[in-house]
Amino acid sequence: VNCLVRAGVNPVSLGPLMIDIQDPVLGAEDRELLTHPLVGGVILFTRNYADPEQLSALTRDLHNLRSPPLLIAVDHEGGRVQRFRDQFTELPPARAYGTLYDQNPEQGLRFTEQMAWLLASELRTAGVDLSFAPVVDLDMNVSTVIGDRALHRDPKAVGELARAWVLGMRRAGMAACAKHFPGHGAVAGDSHHMLPVDTRSLTEIRNRDLKPYQRLIRMDIPAIMMAHVVYPNVDSVPASLSRKWIGSELRGALEYGGAVFCDDLSMHGAAGAGSYTDRAHAALSAGCDMLPVCNNRAGVIEILDNMKDVSDPQRQWRLTRLHGGKGTPREELMAGADWRDARAALERYHGAGAFTLT
């Protein structure tokens, strides 16, 4: 790997790549890759977790590698997508919040905020900066990969529920990242394995899928993740690699000023852009700030060997504001009234049959 920096280098900025690591502890190659100037973040998976103490030690190690610290992220939504389970609260799928909202909007919003706070608080006490949540794709009963990860079918309800979710995470000191812009709910295909195509018009998408984003942008949501979906009536390339979607629509029409994440460049939905280096260049050129590359170490190394300096002061500001606030020690968190109230609410609704925990 001819351009990896020596371990111990202390870069002064966060690069645009977010990469994964192999094990619950850092190996020598992990450390070398994570200190490369093009790397700015790390995404954790279930294989990186043993227990809360191990996770806290791992995040301390990761944060101490460089300054500013690497961003540590995880896909932790609840339901099917929850990377850490043992000794973490098992959270319901997002659809449960929408179901409660239909029965009683006030209770549904309150419960959503509590569960988002619980999710973020438990991650923050272990040193995780960012969870890629909430999903704000509309539940159109089409996409199996989204399915019960969606909050609701109605854009207004999704906007209200997503706002409560973001407020809960914010109260816990964690940034939220809404996904998948402009919307993944109207396509059956899974972008992990194919490139889905959504043939709707821009007007239809604006009138439905973008409504929740408008509300979240007004409340200054700090991060949004793009979809690996092609909308041929808008652009011929996936939204994640599209200047029209990111520059004209998200940054322009919606006046969004926060961080833009590409979805994982290892997914099949990005493969049409070419090599991993080509994919990374396309995403950056389109306006993405951070590019996750997951479960493909060779792809990461290819990018690091071939990509030139891509520093950007505006990107630095957008990314550094995603670092988590001060986390409460785990024992203190679990002894607090907010944690006990949230757990009691979860047990009450689950016991009443409002949803099923997996």
Of all helices (H) and strands (E), which one includes residue 77? strand 76-78
Q: What is the pLDDT of residue 89?
A: 97
Say whether 20 is catalytic: no
Say whether 350 is catalytic: no
Q: What is the Cα–Cα distance from 178 to 149, expressed in whole angstroms?
A: 12
Q: Does the bond joining 182 to the residue before it have cis omega, within 30 degrees of 0?
A: yes
Q: What is the Cα–Cα distance from 164 to 110, expressed in whole angstroms?
A: 7
Q: What is the pLDDT of residue 354?
A: 75
Q: What is the pLDDT along the chain (358 residues), one digit of tens a residue?
A: 333 343 333 446 899 999 999 999 999 999 999 999 999 999 999 999 999 999 999 999 999 999 999 999 999 999 999 999 999 999 999 999 999 999 999 999 999 999 999 999 999 999 999 999 999 999 998 888 899 999 999 999 999 999 999 999 999 999 999 999 999 999 987 788 778 999 999 999 999 999 999 999 999 999 999 999 999 999 999 999 999 999 999 999 999 999 999 999 999 889 888 999 999 999 999 999 999 999 999 999 999 999 987 888 899 999 999 999 888 999 999 999 999 999 999 999 888 777 777 6
The active-site residue out of 192, 193, 220, 341 is: 192
- Is residue 153 within 8 Å of residue 198, measured between CB atoms? no
- Max distance between CA atoms of the chain, in angstroms, equals 59
Q: In the structure encoding, which two tokens stand for residue 32, read together?
A: 């070398």
Q: What is the pLDDT of residue 242?
A: 97
Q: What is the Cα–Cα distance from 271 to 264, expressed in whole angstroms?
A: 11
Instruction: Give 340's contacts (C-beta < 8 A, 6+ positions apart).
Output: none
Alpha helix stretches (DSSP H) within 47-104: 52-63, 94-103
DSSP annotation string for 236-251:
SSBGGG-HIIIIIIII
Instruction: Give 292's contacts (C-beta < 8 A, 6+ positions apart).
Output: 17, 18, 19, 41, 43, 73, 261, 262, 263, 264, 265
Q: What is the Cα–Cα distance from 191 to 63, expressed in whole angstroms?
A: 31
The size of the chain, in residues, is 358
Model confidence pLDDT, tens digit, residues 254-274: 999 999 999 999 998 898 889
Model confidence pLDDT, tens digit, residues 167-203: 999 999 999 999 999 999 999 877 887 789 999 999 9
- The backbone region for 235, taken as left when phi is positive above 0, alpha when psi lies in -120 to 50, beta otherwise, is beta
Residue with tokens 């103490």: 53
Q: What is the pLDDT of residue 10?
A: 40
- Is residue 26 within 8 Å of residue 18, measured between CB atoms? no
Of all helices (H) and strands (E), which one includes residue 123? helix 105-125
- Does the reported pTM lie above 0.85? yes
The active-site residue out of 148, 209, 235, 263 is: 263
